[in-house]
Amino acid sequence: MTGVQPLESKPVPPAEGATPALAQWFAAKAAHPDALIFFRMGDFFEMLFGDAEIAAPALDIALSYRGEHRGEPVPLCGVPVHASETYLARLIRQGYRVAICDQTETPEEQKRRKAPTIRREVTRIVTPGTVTEEALLEAARPAWLLALAPAGERLGAAWLDVTTGAFGTASLAAADLPALLARLEPVEVLAPEALARGPALLPLAGRIAHQEPPRDGARRLAEAFAVATLEGFGAFSAEEVAAAAMAVEYVRLTQAGAMPRLAPPVPSGGRGLLQMDGATRRSLEILRSERGDARHCLLGAVDRTVTPAGARELAARLAAPLAEAAPIAARHDAVGFLLAAGDVRAALRAALKGAPDMARALARLSLDRFAPRDLGAIRDGLMRAEAMESALAAAAGVPPVPALVAEAARALRPASSPRAELARALADPLPARLEDGGLVAAGYDGELDALRRLRDGAREAIAALQMDLAAAWGVASLRIRHHQQFGFLAEVPAAAGERLLREGVKEGPQAPVHRQTMANAMRFTCAALAELDRRVAEAGEQASRRERLIAQHLRRLCLDAAPGIAAAAAAMAELDVHAAAAELAARGGWARPEITDRADFAVTAGRHPVVEAALARARGPAFVPNDCDLSPGRRLCLLTGPNMAGKSTYLRQNALLVILAQAGLFVPAEAARLGLVDRLFSRVGAADDIAGGRSTFMVEMAETAAILNQATARSLVVLDEVGRGTATWDGLAIAWAVLEALHDRIRCRTIFATHFHELTALAGKLPDLAPAHMQVREWRGEVVFEHRVGPGAAERSWGVHVARLAGVPRPVLARAQEVLKALEARARGLDPLSEELPLFARPPAPVPAPAAHPALAALAELDADSLSPREALDAIYRMKSLLGPVADGAE
């Protein structure tokens, strides 16, 4: 395994001559040379040598030096343990791996071992795909770890999320890898080095770990799930098994042998899903905008969920819409039920609002890397789930509860639930860390309560001893304080301390023993203080030990009930999505789409969800809705008109309606009847690929080629300005040929936007082509874009007008207008292009050659080289006579 971010630092110095603690650091670094070592020293994680030189600027903290090794100062930087998650997050986001070398015993245990230093071991390796801490995760996005195993011309793919346990696999052609990457957006990728260098993974170079598939993948995978065979989980190809084993082994390695709770792998692949390639996803800005933000995209526009788990589920549905009518209809039924049952929807959303993330809390519990709030999350989450189940139970009746809602309701109340036990056991409020104490509520455990009374009773003993020592030592201002290293000490002013050193009590348990001198005070101990310190420490240690045992007991209760808890968490997320979709429909006037198995596509007053949301935020004008009819007989819409009139918006709008509908949401329209789409293609906008050495036009042609090679009659294609990246006639020829192929060969539903007005001549040649245009009108010398789609072709493109709006200088605009008029005049003199290129014309039949003319035959027989002048003249007269009257000028 190699690091995501190479560590470009000075070579690690030799370990010889190191102190015991430094020897531990060297051992950890030798085992994990590609990781930064977080080395626990008391209350800090320290980084040493080259790691410190890398981490200090990356974390914006000071680089210092402490001690020497082999005659050289040791570079050092550190972060507090209690704030380590924040600093870890910064390093992980910059692509570094971090090995946590933690203290694995207490100082008391070290003393009993009589060891020179406390024991430290690497307890985990933190990588982007294996983190579980909230500070290192995006609450509303899954954290997919993707493993890829090549097998000939195919790839095995396995993706898992250690924070929720989700686990899926697929076998795919190598050409389909970019689409899978775009769908999952993995935070980390595992791949053999040869595959990692390929063009598909090049954009993810900073998130790739080089990993080889294990040889005995099936056995290792079966062992991980404690089964004899994988057959019970489904049918897996050899490459899927290899990829899944890669992922599981990597997780085991990074967790130092521990394994999170994982659901059995599901060999889902892309079956039953709407297929979209990476270019389409980027064009439609489904989960992120082209600038990378999550607000100005489809997810940001439609997300009304109130929990992080619900937001993740919604993102997953938009990234992978369904392509089968029955499950889509089931989701629509659930949304429709909650739309009609407003009181139930409100009760569900009230119970969900602020609900903890049980799935991720369960993952931390399974790794034994949990905080008190994770136990509290299970307690509070199950309590919210029960409230949701009660709200749904009250709604049972007429209309009947849809199947998906009923199934979710049953999962909300697990048969085996630790909620009641957690409610009795956990204190309120909960501490931030287990080490802080106070996790267990008073009255839950009698033994712990007794230890706490003994520990806390020491406060009274301290106060009494402080009075006794003040009287015995004659220092009224004496105060007993606790020191991390020396325990309880009596602190007195410096002058009183000097007197005690000269004439203090010489014998007995109160005899002062000097420990520390400070600027204005001195600190002493005595036998009585030492005994008090021992009793308090023992009581406190025993109470902490007892509380840790109870915490482990509660953790085990949760893990024993993990399947039911996970099912309840998934049901809450699903109901959050359905209720959010219903809320969106209620407030935005969204309609339930009718999904058919025919080639339908009829939208009435459709709207672009992202643009409409942006206009509402800016309190701008209302969005102008438009119809779209791509039903049989008019399945290819040829759209013309100026860009600023909204062509691109109209193209994306109708593609997004398909995604929303097949994801199970309602759509922003008055009505929609949509035939199932198997593949969705969108090529809108221009972009180059500088890293890949491809021009804008090459990218355009590659994306167009993908459409022509992969689209089927059940697909939806939206294309904008095909052929505009090259010379006019080249581009027109390409656009013409692409349009014909979509109409005649593929026969899919298409919106084809263009500025090549010559293509409108095909309206009479292609029976399923329906021309449309963006409506524009002139008013007082100005052009008004109405943002409406009307039938027929546009008369012009208004490009010069758009240039004026963009601020092009007036002299340039005037010259452009002159050139435009000249070009339009020349174009009017050309024959119609459709007549020059008849679409269905057959090659002309061969015409027999006409019989040779007698004069030509006579000429062919002459031997010009052997004729005398007289013979040549006679031959000319003879041929002239054969030509007849034409030779004499007759008509």
pLDDT tens column, 431-451 = 988 988 999 999 999 999 988
- Whether 694 contacts 684, CB under 8 Å: no
**Which of 225, 248, 271 is where one domain is finished?**
271
* Bridge pairing between strands 521-525 and 513-517: antiparallel
Q: Convert 431-447 to b/e letters by CB count within 10 Å (16 or more is b).
A: eeebeebbbbbeeebee
Q: Is residue 642 pLDDT above 70, yes or no?
A: yes
**pLDDT (tens digit per residue) in 105-131:** 888 788 888 888 999 999 999 999 999
Distance CA 632, CA 651 (A): 19
Per the structure, the count of domains in the chain is 6
First to last CA, the chain: 95
Q: Do 602 and 716 fall into the same domain?
A: yes
Q: Residue 873 has what pLDDT?
A: 76
Rounded-to-integer distance, Cα 434 and Cα 371, Å: 6
- Measured CA to CA in angstroms, residue 871 lies from 143, 179, 854, 883, 887 at distances of 101, 84, 19, 19, 20
**Whole-number average pLDDT of the chain:** 87
Beta carbons of 169 and 236 less than 8 angstroms apart: yes
| % of residues, the chain, pLDDT over 70 | 89
Q: Is residue 436 part of a domain?
A: no
Instruction: Render pLDDT for 391-411 as a digit per residue (tens, 0 to 9).
Output: 999 887 767 899 999 999 999
C-alpha closest to that of 90 among 43, 52, 128, 147: 128
Helix axes 609-617, 647-663, angle to 10 degrees: 110
Contact 78, 41 (CB under 8 A): yes
Please indicate, yes or no, if residue 287 is contained in any of the structural domains: no
**Which one, of 605, 634, 638, lies nearest residue 622 by Cα?**
605
Distance of CA 470 to the CA centre of its chain: 65
pLDDT for 26: 92
When pLDDT is cut at 50, 70 and 90, the band that residue 207 belongs to is confident
Beta carbons of 376 and 423 less than 8 angstroms apart: no
DSSP 646: T
Dihedral over alpha carbons 843, 835, 745, 766 (to 10 degrees): -140
* Phi/psi at 380 (5° precision): -70, -35
Residue 269, pLDDT score:
64
Q: What are phi and psi of 44, to 5 degrees?
A: -130, 150
Q: What is the phi/psi pair of residue 33, to 5°?
A: -65, -20
| Mean pLDDT to the nearest integer, 40-58 | 93
Domain containing residue 336: CATH number: 1.10.1420.10
Give one word for 274, left, alpha or beta, with left for phi > 0 and alpha for psi -120 to 50: beta
Buried b (16+ CB within 10 A) or exposed e, 240-267: bbbbbbbbbbbbeebbeeeebbbbebeb
Q: How confident is the model at residue 830 (pLDDT cuts 50, 70, 90)?
A: very low
Q: What is the mean pLDDT of residues 711-727?
A: 87
**Same domain flag for 336 and 411:** yes
679 and 613: one domain?
Answer: yes
CB 715 within 8 A of CB 677: yes
| Distance from C-alpha of 67 to C-alpha of 214, rounded to nearest angstrom | 44
pLDDT of 461 above 80: yes
Rounded CA separation 359/399 (Å): 32
Least confident range from 110-114, 194-198, 259-263, 806-810: namely 806-810
Query: Which pLDDT score is estimated for 102?
Result: 94
Q: Tens digits of per-residue pLDDT, 153-172?
A: 899 999 999 999 999 999 99
What mean pLDDT is predicted for residues 829-846? Answer: 48
- Measure the CA–CA gap between 266 and 528, rounded to whole angstroms: 66
At 140, is the secondary structure helix, strand, or coil? Answer: coil
Residue 510, number of CB atoms within 10 A of its CB: 18
**Burial of 563: CB neighbours in 10 Å, binned 0-12, 13-18, 19+:** middle
Least confident of 64-73, 539-548, 603-612, 870-879: 870-879
Asked if the bond preceding 399 is cis, omega within 30° of 0, the reply is yes
Residue 854, C-beta contacts closer than 8 angstroms, at least 6 positions apart: 882
Same domain (yes/no): 672, 781? yes
**Average pLDDT in the 560-576 region?**
97
Asked if the bond preceding 429 is cis, omega within 30° of 0, the reply is yes
Residues 536 and 576 in one domain: no
pLDDT at 839: 44
490 has which bridge partners? 480, 524
Q: Tell whether 864 is covered by a domain.
A: yes
Q: Give residue 348's pLDDT.
A: 97
Within a domain: 281 = no
Residue 2: pLDDT band (50, 70, 90) is very low
**Residue 721: is it exposed, middle or buried by C-beta count within 10 angstroms (0-12/13-18/19+)?**
buried
Closest by CA position to 490, among listed 507, 509, 475, 505: 475
Per-residue pLDDT band for 780 (boundaries 50, 70, 90) equals: low
| 579, 345 Cβ separation under 8 angstroms | yes
pLDDT of residue 844: 47
Domain shared by 112 and 36, yes or no: yes
Backbone phi, psi, residue 18, to 5°? -75, 150
DSSP letter string, 609-640: HHHHHHHHHTT-PPP--EEEE--TTS-EEEEE
Q: Does 3 score more than 50 pLDDT?
A: no
Whichever domain contains 830, its CATH number is 3.40.50.300
196 domain-assigned: yes
CA distances in angstroms from 857 to 24, 661, 853, 883, listed in the order given:
109, 78, 6, 12
As a whole number of angstroms, the distance between CA 504 and CA 480 comes to 17
In a domain, 826, yes or no: yes
The whole-angstrom separation of Cα 530 and Cα 576 is 58
CATH number at residue 57: 3.40.1170.10
Q: What average pLDDT score do residues 350-367 get?
A: 95
Question: Where does a domain end: 102, 126, 150?
Answer: 126
**Which residues, 6 or more positions from 64, have their beta carbon under 8 angstroms from its beta carbon?**
75, 76, 77
Coil vs helix vs strand at 231? helix
How far apart, in whole angstroms, are the C-alpha atoms of residue 361 and residue 306?
Answer: 18
- At 429, the pLDDT band (50, 70, 90 cuts) reads very high
- Give the three-class secondary structure for 112: helix
Report the Cα 663 to chain-centroid distance in Å: 17
In sequence order, what DSSP letters do the residues of 166-182 get, joined into one string?
-EEEEEEEGGGHHHHHH
Q: Residues 716, 749: contact at Cβ < 8 Å? A: yes
pLDDT band of residue 1 (cuts 50, 70, 90) is very low
3-state secondary structure of 773: strand
In tens, the pLDDT along 321-334 reads 999 999 999 999 99
Please tell me the distance from the alpha carbon of residue 614 to that of residue 295, in angstroms, as a whole number: 10
Indicate if 142 and 264 belong to the same structural domain: yes
For residue 336, give the H/E element and its range: helix 325-340
Query: Each residue of 623-659: b (16+ CB within 10 Å) or e?
Result: bbbbebbbbeebbbbbbbbbbbbbbbbbbbbbbbbbb
Amino acid at 524: F
Q: Which helix (H) or strand (E) holds 493?
A: strand 487-493
Q: What span, in angstroms and rounded, lies between the C-alpha atoms of 678 and 746?
A: 13
Q: Is pLDDT of 764 > 90?
A: no
pLDDT for 597-613, tens place per residue?
999 999 999 999 999 99
Considering the domain architecture, whether residues 525 and 571 belong to the same structural domain is answered as no
CA distances from 85 to 40, 88, 89, 104, 206 (A): 14, 5, 6, 19, 21
Q: Which of 240-254, 456-470, 502-516, 864-878 has the lowest mean pLDDT?
A: 864-878
Residue 362 lies in a domain: yes
Asked whether residue 354 falls in the same domain as residue 503, the answer is: no
- 408 lies in the same domain as 496: no
Per-residue DSSP letter, 746? I
Same domain, 329 and 388: yes
Q: Quick one: average pLDDT of 755-771?
A: 87
Burial 575-594 (b: 16+ CB within 10 A, else e): bbbbbbbbbbbbebebbbbe
pLDDT over 90 at 265, yes or no: yes
Domain end point (choices 271, 291, 321): 271
If asked whether residues 651 and 713 sit together in one domain, one would say yes
Q: Is pLDDT at 357 greater than 90 in this prediction?
A: yes
Give the closest residue to 419 by CA, choosing from 554, 575, 574. 554
pLDDT band with cut points at 50, 70 and 90 for residue 686? low
Work out the average pLDDT over 477-482: 91
Rounded to whole angstroms, the Cα distance separating 530 from 559 reads 43
Q: Is residue 145 part of a domain?
A: yes
Structural domain of 148: 134-271
Backbone dihedral angles phi then psi of residue 479, each to the nearest 5 degrees: -135, 135
